[in-house]
Structure 1
């Protein structure tokens, strides 16, 4: 079964709950996983940026991935985030992480180093050759400092076995349309930008990997399913109702916004690891007000 079939719809980039001493809160992680699955998301992504992977040790990451796979227990597919700007270290992690029950690996483009397009191609070629699971490219130049061009993505899709898809978060609609026009038939293309998801789905994307679905999994995944079914007017009604929430969730940083909402929902403690800090108090209060005013955001 291709990833276009397995991962059609909404994947949630799962947050990592912490206790007040900054240790991993596995009990809250279990609650979050059940909350996502019970409210209709199609799959879970463990250890992405929203999971605060940059501030989590390698051993913690392994434990979180193993715990997540065991808790999900095959109810929905699980994608595991493994990437970085040290190609050799990424290759090592791919060979040592517990990936046997994952359907794919999501690998972010090298950050800070700002490699050329050829450097990006060679990095991902090495990653794909080392990975025991299909690789989903992750293009997010706002964080990495370098765009993975549509041409390089299509070259990877056509020339490198085991490159199976891309999470596209450049915010460039022309680039999205170029990807969708030129991709191989079985190449998975999903959005990595909640705020642009509706127009990108209308252009032909297969779904998205969402931050917002952590805090409103049912409403957001319903919107995505409507859009995928071609019911764009109905999807727009739901999307319009969430616009103020979108703005608040990304007003300062990610995942501070979504963790604020989840705290007000009683699912986690409002704790993040430095250098990311909780949402400022005025916005934290505003998140509570939004939830109290519209229970459908829950």
Structure 2
């Protein structure tokens, strides 16, 4: 199964579960995969920025990807983040995960890129390095510091047929989606899947996005928003989104978001522990109480919606 420009729906960014002592929790990986698929995920993305990929050794990365791919069993495509400072590591990780059965890889630009031509050259070299492997261009300037203009994305997509998907995480970035969906800008199809924890998903869908590629401790919200939008039930999708919005907003705190997400997933029984591998943030008792309160209010709102 290869990633294509038809990618749509919700590609959940998977967390990497750990035991409190820092060991990878493979049993929780299995439960997590089952949960994501039951929640409506149409794909998974592993070793993304919220998957603590830089904290894993190459061997650990292989083991996590292999475990998740085995549990998925070909039911949905699995994309693997392979971003790294140098091409040797990108090449090694890409070869490894594609051999294991990944559908494609995701590559973010290094923070050293400054000009439009540098960005285009970088992705041209990435495409040459990856060969026929389909890849996702991750546009996340808040994290990378690299500003990619919509016209530059169009140049990359039009010139590089293996760039099949844009992970759109610019903020604000709705105009970028509208530009790319304008007639004549792109010469071939491109999947646009959005990030930012789903915080702007209703608006992104209205602008022409194909879905989400992000994490949130309640991925069923994102699946419902995308499904209702596809069915023309925009208001119903917005109502569901609004019920989850306070927790989604709270989870988007820079530097603390992953700890909140893992705490919520552990609270739901999906992963055994909310541990982050060091260095990593930990929630204080007041922060955990705030999450608990938001979840309780969310549940009451969902009951009201029926």
Give the TM-score normalised by structure 1: 0.91
Per the TM alignment, residue 2 of structure 1 is displaced from its structure 2 partner at its CA by 7.1
**Cα RMSD (Å):** 2.0
Which of 275, 279, 282 is equivalent to 2:283? Answer: 279
* Residues 137-158 of structure 1: per-residue CA shift (max 9 Å, x gap): 0010000011122111111111
Q: Equivalents in 1 of 2:181, 2:167: separation in Å?
A: 12
Match of 2:187 in 1: 184
CA contact (8 A) 1:11 1:209 kept: yes
What is the distance in 2 between the residues matched to 1:105 and 1:115? 23
Of 25-34 and 229-238, the range deviating more from structure 2: 229-238
| Cα-to-partner distance string for 1:194-226 (whole Å, 9 max, x where unaligned) | 1111101101111111211xx212233111211
* Aligned residues of 2:212 and 2:222 also touching (Cα < 8 A): no
Contact kept in structure 2, 1:114 and 1:144, CA below 8 Å:
no
CA contact (8 A) 1:109 1:148 kept: no
Segments of 5+ residues of structure 1 without an aligned counterpart are none
The answer to which of 121-130 and 231-240 deviates more is 121-130
SS in structure 2 at match of 1:189: strand
Is 1:140–1:169's contact at 8 Å kept on the other side of the alignment? Answer: yes
CA distance in 2, matches of 1:65, 1:124: 24
- 1:1-298 paired onto structure 2 within 5 Å: 3-5=4-6, 7-99=7-99, 101-111=101-111, 113-131=112-130, 132-171=132-171, 172-181=173-182, 182-193=185-196, 194-212=198-216, 215-252=217-254, 253-268=256-271, 269-295=273-299
Q: SS in structure 2 opposite 1:165?
A: strand
- Cα distance in 1, alignment partners of residues 287 and 187 from structure 2: 43
The separation in 1 between residues aligned to 2:179 and 2:280, in whole angstroms, is 34
The alignment covers a number of residue pairs equal to 293
Q: State how far apart, in whole Å, the 2-side matches of 1:69 and 1:229 are.
A: 30
Q: Quick one: distance in 1 between partners of 2:84 and 2:180?
A: 23
> Any unmatched runs of 5+ in structure 2?
none
Q: CA deviation at 1:281?
A: 2.5
Question: Which deviates more from structure 2 when the two are superposed, residues 171-180 or residues 148-157?
Answer: 171-180
Deviations 1:91-110, CA, capped at 9 Å, x for gaps = 33323434452222111121
TM-superposed deviation, 1:85: 2.9
**TM-score, normalised on structure 2?**
0.89
